[in-house]
Amino acid sequence: MVTYAARCTCEIKAITVMAKAAFHEMKILCTSKFDLNLRKKLVEYYISGMALYGAETWTLRIVDHKYLESFEIWYRKRIGEMNPTEYVEYQEVLQRIKDERNILHTTKEG
């Protein structure tokens, strides 16, 4: 739901919560000993697709960028079998799983 002030923070929060719940349902597949590339594709198609539903209508602010980036780092840490409570720099997480940032680029293209 986009508000009259063209803010969509509530919608982004709600969608990321639903995507996290979906990730927990698929946790065995996404964090198993499958090949890293297979796990990345599973999450990209299923979880990211759900998290970015309706992104073409969003007016993103800096706060919204932070929510989306924190969601992306959350699921990438779990794909890479890292401790969720351990502090790891965003770039280091991307290096460990041999991937690059894409959630914000996807929303800007959409």
Helix axes 9-25, 62-79, angle to 10 degrees: 10
Q: What is the pLDDT of residue 73?
A: 83
**pLDDT reading at 101 higher than 80:** no
Instruction: Give the per-residue pLDDT at 77.
Output: 82
Percent of the chain clearing pLDDT 90 (strictly above): 0
State yes or no: pLDDT of 53 exceeds 70.
yes
Give the pLDDT mean for 12-19.
88
Contacts of 12 (CB under 8 A, 6+ apart): 58, 64, 67, 68
pLDDT for the residue numbered 103: 67
Please state the pTM of the whole predicted model. 0.74
